[in-house]
Chain A
Amino acid sequence: MVGQNQRKTFLKAMLYMLPALVIIALFVVWPMFHTLRMSFYEDFNIFNKTGEGFGLSSYIWVLQDPTFHKALLNTFIYAIVTVPVSIMIALAIAILLNSGIRGSKFFQTAYFLPYVTNAIAIGLAFRFIFHSEFGVFNKFLAIFGIDAINWLTDPDWAMPTLCIFGVWSALAFKIVIFLAGLQGIDPQLYQAARIDEAGKWKMFTSITLPQLGPIMAYQFVIATINAFKAYNEVVGLFGDDGPLHSAITMVYYMYDKFYNANKYTIAAASGVIMFLIIMVFTFIQLGMSNRKADQ
């Protein structure tokens, strides 16, 4: 009887999960499997779903492609710069907003606006801001006597520009998450710390930071994944992959190989490589934060 009941419960549960399972299978699992299959062919016809030359040739091609090396390097630079910088700035702003300054409700909304705004639209706005001749940014730098910088047209400046933009556009979401985290800290801990003669900095290091631990780990994992997937930011800002492909990222490379070059197997192989990289990094980060939580 127990077994029958269990089977009944299981079938009922399956029925509830079916819609989600179908959608996930159709739009996530099948494309993943399909991409994996495609990546092992030398050539693939996407119309009759047949490939030629089964093997690792596409992987070898991708790994030897200097443009892919450039995309890989750029993506790593982008992640290493924007993840910690945006987290630090977001935390500072969140703490400021949480301290109950005048008009904090207004600022909370203002800081969240970029998150609900289209990345391409924001990119277009930043094109004006970064414009070498008429941009606000250069006008601002001119006040300090700094010569105009060709943010968008100089290949050497493309990555710094992208990073600045990336930090800015990643702030909104992080601020909201940090604010939620800060509001979850028991205010009595700060009162206790005050009585225990802890100064502002001491309170930050010995209450705020440790209490935000799990949220900080979450932010790092999500931000790193998002940084590795950077594409909207590039296209929004430059319209393409920057002057002389100077701001090409892994996802842009993948997109370019698929839609522009029609090299489907190359795109698929680079996608699989990217998937593996993100997976490894996420496991490392989760492992690190779990070990810390255990201590």
Chain B
Amino acid sequence: MDIRLEGLTKTFTGKDKVETIAVNDLTVTIPGGHLVGLLGPSGCGKSTTLFMLAGLHEPTRGRIWFGDEDVTDLPPEKRGIGLVFQNYALYPHMTVYDNIAFPLRNSRSFREKHKDGKERHEAIDQIVQQTAKIVAIEELLARKPSQLSGGQQQRVAIARAIAKQPRVLLLDEPLSNLDARLRIQTREEIRRIQQATGITTVFVTHDQEEAMSITDEIIVMKDGVVQQVDHPQETYIHPANVFVARFLGNPPINMIDASVKDGQVMINGCPAIAADLPDGQYKVGIRPESFILSDDGFTADILTKATIGRDFQVRFDMNGRYSEALIESDKSIEEGDKVHFRLRRSGVHIFDLDEKRIAQW
């Protein structure tokens, strides 16, 4: 079942009557069975979008479709969704078992399907055990949330959300409260659970690495406006604009103002790469890994050097901006060296002054 958002808009009116547009005319289709990441910096409207999908926020304009059903005016309890909150929002006084069983006990459709009280009780028990197994918390069912670690709480929250077999699973920054190691482990878990259940899943995050590593598709947002909808790798290789290029990748892309003259992009006064573009000013984005040490090419003074795993991360001045490059550490390079760089064909993007990408090698 696909999810379609049509011209979805949400405005908030503050105390001083100032209107803030949190989500602006969002039109996007989320393919059924996929794990989709809503990615953007804080305040970009990604959580607001998720809460509109959940029905907890009412859109100001626009429609939300689950398949052929218009759910815009449906309250959250009738949408058949599961939501994992950022802080999990587990019921603190209930055991893990009761937390997972809670939505089933309330579900009207479930009660209609299992009219006999005893039979319903058994059906609930079976689902709770099954779900606990999927998220690997079978041995924790008798505990209270306060007796669990962050990662365990997170898995309970997912179990509660998927127990009622929702049409859509929504996750609001589900990994932000976990430490680095657990975060990597848990995001793989989420991927595994999503693939095991096949539920259409929307995952909100501000962490590009998180989004890149587990999603089928990324929706990049900024200031309530969608910037790019693409496969994770595509958003990195073919960023639609300066914002997307900057937001994805670590260390971030080097963005410089450069001119094109006689079909050449000028860097530090030296023609660096050929560009089939009219003369004029452009914005050029160069990934740190796209610099190659060379005997010719443009010159750069190395300001600092740091060893990052198998690479050196070096800092130098390029067209008046500090830029960073990743150089393989088998090359000898020292602070204060004057070196020559050439550019790889991949990872160099040229944007017009409106910050739209117009060319790439």
Given contact pairs A197-B108, A211-B92, A191 touches B56 in the complex (Cβ within 8 A): yes
B329-348: CB near A (< 8 Å → 1, else 0) gives 00000000000000000000
User: Residue-by-residue, is B71-113 near A (CB-CB < 8 Å gives 1, otherwise 0)?
Assistant: 0000111000111010101111110000000110011100000
Known: A188-B87, A191-B56, A191-B85. A196 touches B102 (CB 8 A): yes
Is B167's CB within 8 Å of the partner chain A? Answer: no
- Within the complex, the shortest CB–CB distance from B157 to chain A, in Å, comes to 9
- Tally A-B pairs: CB < 8 A: 56
A210-B93, A211-B92, A211-B93 given; A195·B81 CB < 8 A: yes
Residues A202 and B85 in contact, CB atoms below 8 Å apart: no
Give Cα distance in the complex from A247 to B102, angstroms: 49
Tell me whether B93 and A192 are in contact (CB under 8 A).
no
Q: Is B102's CB under 8 angstroms from A194's CB?
A: no
Contact A188 B107 (CB under 8 A): no
Contact B102 A195 (CB under 8 A): no
CA distance A207 to B99 in the complex (A): 12
- A147: chain B residues within 8 A (beta carbon): none
- Cα distance, A191 to B161, chains bound together (Å): 13
A53 within 8 Å of B (CB atoms): no
Q: Is A276 an interface residue (CB 8 A)?
A: no
Asked if A14 is at the interface of the complex by the 8 Å CB criterion, the answer is no
A206 in the interface (beta carbon within 8 A): yes
CA of A202 to CA of B93 in the docked complex: distance in angstroms? 14
Cβ of B160 < 8 Å from any Cβ of A?
yes
User: A18-56 interface mask toward B, CB cutoff 8 Å, 1 = contact, 0 = none?
Assistant: 000000000000000000000000000000000000000
Query: Which chain A residues in 200-216 approach chain B with CB under 8 Å?
Result: 202, 206-207, 210-211, 213
Alpha-carbon gap, A118 to B359, bound state (A): 80
Are the CB atoms of B91 and A206 closer together than 8 Å? yes
Q: Is A222 engaged at the interface, CB distance under 8 Å to the other chain?
A: no
User: Are A194 and B56 in contact (CB-based, < 8 A)?
Assistant: yes
Contact across chains for A188 and B89 when beta carbons are under 8 A apart: yes
Task: Report if A197-B77 is in contact (Cβ < 8 Å); known contacts: A188-B85, A192-B85, A206-B102.
Answer: yes
Residues in A whose Cβ lies below 8 Å from that of B91: 189, 192-193, 206-207
Query: How close is A295's CB to chain B, nearest CB, in angstroms?
Result: 9
Q: Which of A193, A195, A213 has the most CB of B within 10 A?
A: A195
Question: Across the interface, which residues of A come within 8 angstroms of B75, CB to CB?
Answer: 194
The reply to whether B56 and A197 contact each other, CB–CB distance below 8 Å, is no
B211 an interface residue at 8 Å Cβ cutoff? Answer: no
**A8 shortest CB reach to chain B, Å:** 39
Partner of B76, one of A186, A188, A194: A194
A interface residues, how many (CB within 8 angstroms) = 18
What is the CA–CA distance of A191 and B56 in the complex, to the nearest angstrom? Answer: 7
Residue of B nearest to A190 (CB): B89
Chain B neighbourhood of A197, CB < 8 A: 77, 103, 106-108
Please tell me if the beta carbons of A196 and B103 are within 8 angstroms of each other in the complex.
Answer: yes
A191–B81 alpha-carbon span in the complex (Å): 12
A194, B87: Cβ atoms closer than 8 Å: no
Closest residue of A by beta carbon distance from B104:
A196
> Cβ of A142 < 8 Å from any Cβ of B?
no
Residues of chain A lying within 8 A (CB to CB) of residue B54: 195
Residues of A159-210 contacting chain B, CB below 8 A: 186, 188-189, 191-199, 202, 206-207, 210
Chain B residues in 8 Å Cβ range of A191: 56, 76, 83, 85, 89
Q: A202-B106, A213-B93 are in contact. Are A195 and B77 (CB under 8 A)?
A: yes
A199 / chain B contacts, CB cutoff of 8 Å:
106
Bound-complex Cα distance A199 to B106 (A)? 8
Question: If A188-B87, A202-B106, A206-B102 touch, does A195 touch B82 (CB 8 Å cutoff)?
Answer: yes
Check B77–A192 contact: CB distance below 8 A: no
> Nearest B residue to A191 by beta-carbon distance?
B56
Residues of B within 8 A of A202 (CB): 106
**A188 to B173 alpha-carbon distance, docked (Å):** 14
Q: Contacts A188-B87, A192-B83 hold; do A198 and B93 have CB atoms under 8 A apart? A: no
Expressed in whole angstroms, the Cα–Cα distance for A189 and B92 within the complex equals 9
Q: Chain B residues with Cβ under 8 A from A193's Cβ? A: 91, 102
List A contacts of B160 (CB < 8 A).
192, 196
Most interface-central of A188, A192, A198 (chain B CB within 10 A): A192
For B81, what are the chain A residues with a Cβ–Cβ distance below 8 Å?
195
A196–B90 alpha-carbon span in the complex (Å): 12
- Closest chain-B Cβ to A217's Cβ sits at a distance in Å of 14
Alpha-carbon distance between A47 and B44 when the two chains are bound, in angstroms: 79
Find out whether the CB atom of B93 lies under 8 angstroms from the CB atom of A196.
Answer: no
Within 8 A of A (CB), among B47-88: 54, 56, 75-77, 81-83, 85, 87
| Complex Cα spacing A195 to B94, Å | 17
Determine the chain A residues whose CB is within 8 A of the CB of B82 once the complex forms.
195
On chain A, the residues within 8 Å of B87 by CB distance are 186, 188
CA distance A93 to B21 in the complex (A): 36
Tell me, in angstroms, the Cα distance from A194 to B56 when the chains sit together: 9
User: In the complex, what residues of B have CB within 8 A of residue A198's CB?
Assistant: 77, 102, 106
> How many angstroms between the C-alpha atoms of A196 and B103 in the bound complex?
4
B89 A192 Cβ-Cβ under 8 A: yes
Find the residue from B76, B94, B107, B108 having the highest chain A CB count within 10 A.
Answer: B76
* Residues in chain A near residue B77, CB distance under 8 A: 194-198
Known: A192-B89, A197-B103. 7 other contacts (CB 8 A): A188-B89, A191-B85, A191-B89, A192-B90, A192-B160, A194-B56, A196-B77
Subset of 27 A-B contacts with CB under 8 Å: A188-B85, A188-B87, A191-B76, A192-B85, A192-B90, A192-B91, A193-B91, A193-B102, A194-B56, A194-B76, A194-B77, A195-B81, A195-B103, A196-B102, A196-B103, A196-B106, A197-B77, A197-B106, A198-B102, A198-B106, A199-B106, A202-B106, A206-B91, A206-B94, A210-B93, A211-B93, A213-B93
Name A residues whose Cβ lies closer than 8 Å to a Cβ of B: 186, 188-189, 191-199, 202, 206-207, 210-211, 213
State the 7 A-B residue pairs at the shortest beta-carbon distance, nearest first. Answer: A196-B103, A188-B89, A210-B93, A197-B106, A192-B89, A197-B77, A195-B76
